[in-house]
């Protein structure tokens, strides 16, 4: 008896909680409205199922609770009803899956005009690299990393010379331009996560992963690590600043290139191209 | 070779107390040993979860919880709950107790191997608990134990802890394999006269299919564990590529971290159903008995269990949508994952339709079954978000995931376990528990658990990541989240405390509870019709029972009572007419 | 009755005993358990095989090209050991046929086990040879897999030797012997089968 009321109240309470709780998705700041749409479709279908099933249960418990003289109905199965329920469940599932798969197709199809930006993770900080005027990131791998070459860029790769290196935790992106985030890790798994962008992807040592998005709102947002990466996981923070193209270009022009780093090192008598091990054909960063 | 033996001679009858209760080969004693060990280590996991909650609810207030401790609590809590509590309790505990009694066997087919299974399990638990005391403490790599993190300096327990954990898991798998082979063979070989496959109660079906799944899924974890140990100790490069740890290259080259994830989830996803299917089966029986109605659509229920079991081997990579694996896999795994929702939904419908037009006795086991339905519907539906590949992208690794999997494979199966313990306690001990305490335990646990995990879904929607020692300063997390965390911790405190009502009730009733009726619920299935309560060694006295009907003859029109025991001959034919 | 028709039974419609179920037509439990275990072992070795292929850099898995992979060396001892295991299986088959026909199976069973021991010793020598040739655990991922797989297989061979010892001890013990030898022989055939598949993997890659 009480449990029937309790279930009904929990359903009502859950709806009220949904309507009045202050916690919901952050305002979106990227092109991934399709993900939000798929999420909302899923939510509404699931909410209907949740309300109908639980209220039916509460009603059945109340209506068929044991009282003197109450006898249960004997019905081993009802193939017709079960088939009908299966069918309608299938329809609901398909209605959820379709927008999900469509959004995923978009997610895995990087536009040709996307700018390339690389994020590198290590315990417990972020670093970023832009391809420079040639639009191509120089090959990089962990084996090349040393004190003068923290990104592990192959010093002999001509594409690497104009790469722009950002060793602070601050990433800048131009507003309204698709960007392919290329991800590398130096040590363990990390995950590049900006809640407002919706998109995220793991950084996996040994391989290069990616995702793409278009920032649609100017402002600064938190970058978090969303894959457990050790005791400092919760402190692995960064900031992404989305700004107008002109501001972005101005900022980018102030940053160091790998060519400058090489020149500085050479001025101190360190020739990175000689110090680094020979580049192997395997494990090269994707261009 | 006939495996149905009426005579008791093949059973090993011990004379001494130690032989009866310690080195016992009786499936019922082994079941209790399994259950007590699992629950004991489960209490440890419960305490760890509460310590985690203290840190999240009141960050910085508890100085003894540092980031490394916090991650160790997270890891050990998860691993213990999933493997050492739920799997061991549902299969080693309930499987052991119920299978022979429900199919009408004297014992497991291989009682000695069954005993060995328990002792090897105990060894795995000892190794696990010992890892709390080794230098560096237990591993803090999260229960998923992803390399390279778990074997590097930046993670607690990277030297000793991870090796102990992997060794303990490997030992557990050996124990489980011995037990699982036994459960499956017993169901196949030792059913009594007349016990056809489709006359078995749903509990046996759930445990049976889960055992087969365990046998086929655990090898993946075994391989992953051995390879991780080799990567850590012998310097091989199965999972670890060229990386830099603490400013130096580790000497590994070319390994694949994603390979580990594939192996882990090839075990890990079926594992979810290894826990869920026995719970599905048991809850079907609880609902049916206490609603005085046959389980609706029995055949569909059995088929759904089999189909879910089979499909669950084709969905593992839905845990890896943002892992960096080939993104095109997402299409396949999202589809297979959402397809598995169909047989699961059918099970829910049939449970509800069993209640519909029933004669519902709101006894404590039924209350837990109803609570299970509520939490399982909630958790099952939130799983559709995470299975639906693109929707998973913003939600993965947030509190939404924590809310979802706790609802669906934490709270739900544990509610079933509580219901099942209350249900079978009179049979196991011969005594009845205290109703008031049991009801108090129910209400606090059910409402408290919902209060803990419902808000987590919403905090996750907001984007709060999981496995964070402290949220720190961000631009998107409002202060209200800190109050939510505080509230959740307080709710967790109540749920934590309520479990003492349960333990008190169980232990007190064991000695002081009133003597129980041999069949207090009026159940039809075979385990309630043993000659002795609690059943003696050998279960069935001189002669094995003969089964004449399915396990769900409740409220049959024309029958004198509202249930007909499985071993009651049909009225037309007396027992003498049926040849065994 | 086929499995499908058994699973389609409307059991509520048929009260009354089914004498066919629970009769002596069931296969021996030991046989069932053996077949089940073959399933477990098949998954175990199947997973190691797929791990091997993935680690090699199977295209399409999104792993990129993993570095440091060299094909495995194939010393002659590898083939000698394979032949030994073949002979062991052959001897078990002879023992099984003798036992079934009620003849003395002891000498065949005994030599089969000895061949198994020789196989294990041969595998250990192979390990030493590979390590000496610079294919240590650390040096070479293919070799690391080779050690892992041969160790897993070797543990299964040790299990086979345990059953061999039990079969030998129970030789004079009446009607169960033929079954015991039959099952042990089946297990050894399975070991040979697994080994041949693994060998195929090493040689083909």
- Distance between CA atoms of C192 and C205, rounded to whole angstroms? 20
Question: Percent of chain A at pLDDT above 70?
Answer: 94
In a domain, A281, yes or no: no
Q: Kindly state the tokens that stand for B37.
A: 């060990």
Regarding pTM above 0.90, the answer is yes
CB proximity B462 to A under 8 Å: yes
Instruction: Check CB contact under 8 Å for B378 and A50.
Output: yes
In this predicted structure, the answer to whether residue B349 has a pLDDT above a threshold of 50 is yes
Q: Is the peptide bond before A124 cis (omega within 30 degrees of 0)?
A: yes
Instruction: Check CB contact under 8 Å for C19 and B194.
Output: yes
If asked whether residues A92 and A164 sit together in one domain, one would say: no
If asked whether residues A160 and A25 sit together in one domain, one would say: no
For residue range B256-274, list pLDDT tens digits in order.
999 999 999 999 999 999 9
In a domain, B359, yes or no: yes
CB proximity A235 to C under 8 Å: no
In this predicted structure, the answer to whether residue A139 has a pLDDT above a threshold of 70 is yes
Pick A76's closest partner by Cβ from B294, B455, B462: B294
pLDDT at C166: 84
pLDDT at C102: 76
Q: Which residue of B has its CA nearest to A197?
A: B394
For residue range B545-567, list pLDDT tens digits in order.
999 999 999 999 988 889 999 99
- Distance between CA atoms of B204 and B195, rounded to whole angstroms? 12
Place of tokens 């698709």: A178
Average of per-residue pLDDT values in chain B:
92
- Distance between CA atoms of B21 and B13, rounded to whole angstroms? 12
Q: How confident is the model at residue B7 (pLDDT cuts 50, 70, 90)?
A: low
- Mean pLDDT on C74-78: 88
Q: How far is C95 from chain B (nearest CA, A)?
A: 21
Instruction: Check CB contact under 8 Å for B324 and A207.
Output: yes
In a domain, B248, yes or no: no
pLDDT at C61: 53
Alpha carbon B495 to chain centroid, angstroms: 19
Structural domain range at position C184: 84-205
Q: Kindly state the tokens that stand for B14.
A: 């011990």
pLDDT at A269: 77
Pick C54's closest partner by Cβ from B188, B234, B256: B256
In degrees and rounded to multiples of 5, residue C19 shows phi and psi of -60, -25
If asked whether residues A153 and A249 sit together in one domain, one would say: yes
For residue range B282-293, list pLDDT tens digits in order.
999 999 999 999
In this predicted structure, the answer to whether residue C70 has a pLDDT above a threshold of 60 is yes
State which of A84, A108, A132 marks the end of a domain: A108
Residue C204: CB partners within 8 Å, gap ≥ 6? none
Alpha carbon A42 to chain centroid, angstroms: 19
If asked whether residues A266 and A244 sit together in one domain, one would say: yes
CB proximity B378 to A under 8 Å: yes
What are the start-end ranges of the E strands in B324-375?
A: none
Q: How confident is the model at residue C74 (pLDDT cuts 50, 70, 90)?
A: confident
In degrees and rounded to multiples of 5, residue C196 shows phi and psi of -65, -40
Alpha carbon B510 to chain centroid, angstroms: 24
Pick A230's closest partner by Cβ from B154, B256, B472: B154
Give the number of beta-carbon pairs within 8 Å between B and C: 176
Q: How far is C113 from chain B (nearest CA, A)?
A: 24
The enclosing domain of B293 has a CATH number of 1.20.210.10
Q: Which residue of C has its CA nearest to B296?
A: C12
- Mean pLDDT on A82-90: 94
Pick B152's closest partner by Cβ from A61, A187, A233: A187
pLDDT at A285: 37
In a domain, C6, yes or no: no
User: Strand, helix or coil at B10?
Assistant: coil
Alpha carbon A266 to chain centroid, angstroms: 39
Q: How many domains does chain B have?
A: 1
Place of tokens 């094909």: C71
Q: Which among B391, B447, B453, B470 is the top mutation candidate for probing chain A, defined by the most A β-carbons within 10 Å of its own β-carbon?
A: B391
In this predicted structure, the answer to whether residue B45 has a pLDDT above a threshold of 80 is yes
If asked whether residues A127 and A254 sit together in one domain, one would say: yes
- Distance between CA atoms of A101 and A80, rounded to whole angstroms? 31
In a domain, B249, yes or no: no
Q: Kindly state the tokens that stand for B258.
A: 């994603």
DSSP secondary structure code for residue B449 in this structure: H
In terms of C-beta distances under 8 Å and separation of at least 24 residues, what long-range contacts does B243-246 make, across chains too? B243/A142, B243/A185, B243/A186, B243/A187, B243/A188, B243/A205, B243/A206, B243/B148, B243/B152, B244/A122, B244/A142, B244/A145, B244/A186, B244/A187, B245/A123, B245/A187, B245/B148, B245/B152, B245/B153, B245/B154, B246/B153, B246/B154
Place of tokens 């979860």: B49
In a domain, C1, yes or no: no
Instruction: Check CB contact under 8 Å for C17 and B553.
Output: no
If asked whether residues A127 and A94 sit together in one domain, one would say: no
In a domain, A287, yes or no: no
Residue A168: CB partners within 8 Å, gap ≥ 6? A127
Least confident of A180-194, B234-248, C158-172: C158-172
Q: Which among A140, A200, A217 is the top mutation candidate for probing chain B, defined by the most B β-carbons within 10 Å of its own β-carbon?
A: A200
Structural domain range at position B415: 28-238+255-573
Start-to-end CA distance of chain B, whole Å, equals 17
Q: Which residue of A has its CA nearest to C68?
A: A282
Q: How many domains does chain C have?
A: 1
Three-state secondary structure of B138-175: CCCCCCCCCCCHHHCCCCCCCCCHHHHHHHHHHHHHHH
If asked whether residues A130 and A34 sit together in one domain, one would say: no
In this predicted structure, the answer to whether residue C71 has a pLDDT above a threshold of 90 is no
Helical spans, DSSP H, in chain A: 2-20, 33-63, 79-108, 245-253, 258-267, 272-275
In this predicted structure, the answer to whether residue B514 has a pLDDT above a threshold of 80 is yes
In a domain, C14, yes or no: no
In a domain, B246, yes or no: no
Q: Kindly state the tokens that stand for A101.
A: 């798969």
Pick A57's closest partner by Cβ from B240, B255, B352: B352
If asked whether residues A242 and A103 sit together in one domain, one would say: no
Q: Kindly state the tokens that stand for B389.
A: 């590949």
Q: Kindly state the tokens that stand for B280.
A: 């599905």
Question: Percent of chain B at pLDDT above 70?
Answer: 96
pLDDT at C68: 64
Place of tokens 């791998």: A141
Q: Are the beta carbons of B197 and C6 closer than 8 angstroms? A: yes
Q: How far is CA C165 from CA B262, C179, C182, C196, in A?
A: 39, 15, 14, 24
Structural domain range at position A244: 115-275
Residue B325: CB partners within 8 Å, gap ≥ 6? B258, B261, B262, B317, C61, C62
Q: Which B residues 241-260 touch A at CB under 8 Å? A: 241-245, 249, 254-258
In a domain, A239, yes or no: yes
- Helix H or strand E encompassing C116: helix C106-132
If asked whether residues A90 and A175 sit together in one domain, one would say: no
Helical spans, DSSP H, in A113-169: none
Which residues pair with residue A119 across a beta bridge?
Answer: A128, A183
Q: Kindly state the tokens that stand for B11.
A: 């059973």
In a domain, C167, yes or no: yes
Q: Which among A277, A282, A287 is the top mutation candidate for probing chain C, defined by the most C β-carbons within 10 Å of its own β-carbon?
A: A282
Place of tokens 């650390």: C138
- Helix H or strand E encompassing C4: helix C3-7
pLDDT at C13: 86
Pick C11's closest partner by Cβ from B223, B327, B550: B550
Q: Kindly state the tokens that stand for C191.
A: 């070991």
Q: Kindly state the tokens that stand for B561.
A: 């009572």
Question: Percent of chain A at pLDDT above 90?
Answer: 79
In this predicted structure, the answer to whether residue C141 has a pLDDT above a threshold of 90 is no
If asked whether residues A87 and A155 sit together in one domain, one would say: no
- Mean pLDDT on B405-432: 96
Q: How confident is the model at residue B579 (pLDDT cuts 50, 70, 90)?
A: very low
CB proximity A280 to C under 8 Å: yes
Complex ipTM > 0.90: yes
Place of tokens 């049991």: B438
- Distance between CA atoms of B385 and B531, rounded to whole angstroms? 50
The enclosing domain of A193 has a CATH number of 2.60.40.420
- Mean pLDDT on A98-122: 94
In this predicted structure, the answer to whether residue A283 has a pLDDT above a threshold of 70 is no
- Helix H or strand E encompassing A128: strand A125-130
Instruction: Check CB contact under 8 Å for C63 and A207.
Output: yes
Residues on chain C touching A280 (C-beta within 8 angstroms): 67
Q: Which B residues 103-122 touch C at CB under 8 Å? A: 109-110
Strand A179-185 relative to strand A209-213, pairing? antiparallel
State which of A108, A131, A160 marks the end of a domain: A108
Taking alpha carbons only, the member of A220, A208, C3, A203 closest to residue B302 is C3
Residues on chain B touching A154 (C-beta within 8 angstroms): none
pLDDT at A284: 34
For residue range A22-69, list pLDDT tens digits in order.
999 999 999 999 999 999 999 999 999 999 999 999 999 999 999 998
Q: How many domains does chain A have?
A: 2
- In this complex, the chains that touch A, judged by 3 or more CB pairs closer than 8 A, are B, C
In a domain, A204, yes or no: yes
In this predicted structure, the answer to whether residue C73 has a pLDDT above a threshold of 90 is no
Q: Are the beta carbons of A211 and A107 closer than 8 angstroms? A: yes
Q: Kindly state the tokens that stand for B182.
A: 């036994």
Three-state secondary structure of C39-65: HHHHHHHHHHHHHHHHHHCCCCCCCCC
Q: Are the beta carbons of A171 and A141 closer than 8 angstroms? A: no
Taking alpha carbons only, the member of A170, A162, A119, A145 closest to residue A259 is A162
Taking alpha carbons only, the member of B217, B233, A72 closest to residue C147 is B233
pLDDT at A281: 39
Q: Which among B105, B107, B182, B236 is the top mutation candidate for probing chain C, defined by the most C β-carbons within 10 Å of its own β-carbon?
A: B236
Residue A24 buriedness (CB in 10 A; 0-12 / 13-18 / 19+): exposed
Region of C171 (left: φ > 0; alpha: ψ -120 to 50; beta: rest) is alpha
In a domain, B132, yes or no: yes
In a domain, C130, yes or no: yes
In a domain, B170, yes or no: yes
Question: Percent of chain B at pLDDT above 90?
Answer: 84
Which residues pair with residue A220 across a beta bridge?
Answer: A241
pLDDT at B385: 95
Q: Which B residues 533-552 touch C at CB under 8 Å? A: 546-550, 552
Q: Are the beta carbons of A220 and A197 closer than 8 angstroms? A: no
Q: How confident is the model at residue B578 (pLDDT cuts 50, 70, 90)?
A: very low
In a domain, A283, yes or no: no
The enclosing domain of C122 has a CATH number of 1.20.120.80
Q: Which among A2, A36, A50, A77 is the top mutation candidate for probing chain B, defined by the most B β-carbons within 10 Å of its own β-carbon?
A: A77
In a domain, B579, yes or no: no
In a domain, A233, yes or no: yes
In a domain, B11, yes or no: no
Instruction: Check CB contact under 8 Å for B455 and A283.
Output: no
For residue range B226-239, list pLDDT tens digits in order.
999 999 999 898 99
What is chain B's length?
A: 580
- Mean pLDDT on A276-281: 43
| Helices vs strands, H then E, count in chain A | 6, 10
For residue range C158-191, list pLDDT tens digits in order.
999 998 888 888 766 566 778 888 899 999 999 9
Average of per-residue pLDDT values in chain C:
85
Q: How confident is the model at residue B574 (pLDDT cuts 50, 70, 90)?
A: very low
Taking alpha carbons only, the member of C70, B241, B238 closest to residue A283 is B241
If asked whether residues A190 and A233 sit together in one domain, one would say: yes
pLDDT at C59: 55
If asked whether residues A150 and A101 sit together in one domain, one would say: no
């Amino acid at each position: 008896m009480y449990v029937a009321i309790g279930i009904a109240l929990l359903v009502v309470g859950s709806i009220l909680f949904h309507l009045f709780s202050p916690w919901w998705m952050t305002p979106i700041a990227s092109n991934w409205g399709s993900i939000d749409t798929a999420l909302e479709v899923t939510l509404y279908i699931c909410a209907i199922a949740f309300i109908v099933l639980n209220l039916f249960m509460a009603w059945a418990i109340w209506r068929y609770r044991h009282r003197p003289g109450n006898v249960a109905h004997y019905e081993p199965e009802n193939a017709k009803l079960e088939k009908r329920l299966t069918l309608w469940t299938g329809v609901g599932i398909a209605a959820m899956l379709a927008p999900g798969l469509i959004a995923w197709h978009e997610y895995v199809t990087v536009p040709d005009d996307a700018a390339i930006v690389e994020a590198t993770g290590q315990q417990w900080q972020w670093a970023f690299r832009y391809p420079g005027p040639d639009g191509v990131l120089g090959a990089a791998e962990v084996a090349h990393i040393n004190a003068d070459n923290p990104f592990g860029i192959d010093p002999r790769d001509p594409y690497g010379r104009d790469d722009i290196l950002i060793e602070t935790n601050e990433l800048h992106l131009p507003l309204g331009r698709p960007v392919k985030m290329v991800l590398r890790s130096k040590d363990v798994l990390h995950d590049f996560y900006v809640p407002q962008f919706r998109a995220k992807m793991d950084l996996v040592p040994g391989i290069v992963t990616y995702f793409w998005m278009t920032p649609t709102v100017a402002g600064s947002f938190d970058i978090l690590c969303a894959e457990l990466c050790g005791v400092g996981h919760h402190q692995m923070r960064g900031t992404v600043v989305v700004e107008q193209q002109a501001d972005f270009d101005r900022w980018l022009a102030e940053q160091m290139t790998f060519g400058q780093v090489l020149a500085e090192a050479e001025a101190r008598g360190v020739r990175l191209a000689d110090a680094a091990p020979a580049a192997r054909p395997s494990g090269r960063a994707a261009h | 070779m006939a495996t149905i033996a009426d005579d008791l001679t093949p059973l090993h009858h011990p004379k001494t107390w130690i032989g009866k209760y310690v080195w016992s080969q009786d499936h019922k004693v082994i079941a209790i040993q399994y259950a007590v060990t699992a629950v004991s280590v489960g209490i440890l996991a419960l305490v760890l979860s509460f310590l985690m909650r203290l840190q999240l609810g009141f960050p910085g207030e508890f100085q003894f919880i540092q980031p490394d401790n916090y991650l160790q609590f997270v890891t050990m809590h998860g691993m213990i709950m999933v493997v050492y509590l739920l799997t061991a309790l549902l299969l080693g505990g309930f499987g052991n107790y119920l299978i022979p009694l429900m199919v009408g066997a004297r014992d497991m087919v291989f009682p000695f191997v069954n005993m060995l299974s328990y002792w090897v399990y105990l060894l795995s638990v000892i190794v696990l608990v010992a890892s709390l005391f080794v230098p560096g403490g237990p591993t803090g790599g999260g229960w998923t134990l992803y390399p390279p993190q778990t074997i590097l300096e930046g993670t607690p327990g990277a030297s000793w802890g991870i090796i102990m954990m992997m060794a303990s898991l490997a030992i557990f798998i050996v124990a489980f394999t011995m037990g699982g082979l036994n459960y499956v063979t017993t169901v196949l070989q030792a059913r009594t006269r007349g016990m056809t496959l489709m006359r078995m109660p749903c509990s046996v079906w759930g445990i049976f299919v889960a055992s087969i799944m365990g046998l086929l899924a655990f090898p993946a974890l075994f391989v992953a564990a051995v390879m991780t140990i080799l990567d850590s100790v012998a310097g091989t490069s199965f999972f670890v590529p060229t990386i830099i740890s603490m400013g130096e290259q580790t000497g590994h080259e070319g390994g694949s971290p994603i390979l580990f994830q594939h192996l882990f989830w090839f075990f890990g996803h079926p594992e979810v159903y290894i826990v869920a299917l026995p719970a599905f089966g048991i809850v079907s029986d609880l609902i049916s008995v206490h609603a005085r109605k046959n389980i609706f659509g029995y055949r569909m229920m059995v088929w759904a269990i089999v189909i879910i079991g089979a499909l669950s081997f084709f969905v593992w990579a839905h845990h890896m949508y943002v892992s960096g694996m080939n993104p095109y896999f997402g299409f396949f795994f999202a589809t297979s994952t959402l397809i598995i929702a169909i047989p699961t939904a059918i099970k829910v419908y049939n449970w509800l339709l069993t209640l519909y037009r029933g004669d519902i006795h709101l006894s404590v086991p039924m209350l837990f079954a109803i609570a299970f339905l509520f939490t399982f519907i909630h958790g099952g539906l939130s799983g559709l978000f995470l299975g639906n590949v693109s929707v998973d992208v913003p939600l993965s690794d947030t509190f939404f995931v924590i809310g979802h999997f706790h609802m669906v494979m934490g709270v739900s199966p544990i509610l079933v376990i509580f219901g099942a313990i209350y249900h079978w306690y009179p049979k196991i001990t011969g005594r009845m528990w205290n109703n008031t305490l049991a009801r108090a335990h129910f209400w606090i646990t059910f409402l408290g658990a919902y209060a803990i995990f419902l808000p987590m879904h919403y905090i996750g929607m907001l984007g709060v990541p999981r496995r964070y020692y402290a949220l720190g300063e961000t631009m998107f997390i409002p202060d209200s989240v800190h109050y939510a965390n505080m509230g959740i911790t307080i709710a967790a405190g109540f749920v934590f405390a309520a479990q003492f009502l349960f333990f008190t009730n169980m232990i007190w009733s064991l000695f002081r509870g009133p003597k129980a009726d041999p069949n207090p619920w009026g159940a039809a299935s075979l385990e309630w019709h043993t000659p002795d309560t609690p059943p003696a060694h050998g279960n069935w006295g001189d002669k094995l029972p003969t089964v004449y009907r399915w396990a769900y003859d409740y409220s049959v029109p024309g029958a004198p009572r509202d249930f007909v025991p499985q071993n009651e001959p049909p009225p037309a034919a007396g027992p003498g007419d049926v040849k065994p | 009755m086929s499995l499908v028709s058994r699973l389609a039974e409307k059991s509520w419609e048929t009260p009354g005993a089914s004498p066919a179920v629970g009769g002596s037509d069931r296969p021996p439990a030991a046989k069932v358990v053996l077949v089940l275990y073959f399933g477990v072992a098949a998954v175990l070795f199947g997973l190691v095989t797929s791990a091997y292929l993935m680690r090699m850099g199977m295209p399409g898995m999104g792993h990129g090209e993993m570095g440091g992979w060299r094909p495995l060396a194939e010393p002659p001892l590898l083939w000698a050991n394979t032949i030994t295991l073949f002979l062991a299986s052959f001897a078990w088959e002879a023992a099984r046929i003798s036992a079934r026909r009620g003849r003395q199976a002891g000498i065949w069973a005994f030599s089969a086990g000895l061949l198994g021991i020789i196989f294990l010793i041969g595998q250990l020598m192979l390990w030493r040879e590979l390590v000496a040739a610079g294919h240590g655990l650390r040096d070479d991922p293919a070799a690391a897999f080779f050690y892992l797989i041969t160790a897993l297989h070797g543990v299964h061979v040790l299990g086979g030797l345990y059953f061999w010892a039990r079969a030998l001890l129970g030789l004079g013990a009446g009607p169960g012997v033929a079954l015991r030898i039959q099952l042990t022989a089946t297990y050894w055939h399975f070991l040979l089968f697994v080994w041949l598949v693994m060998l195929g993997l090493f040689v083909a890659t």
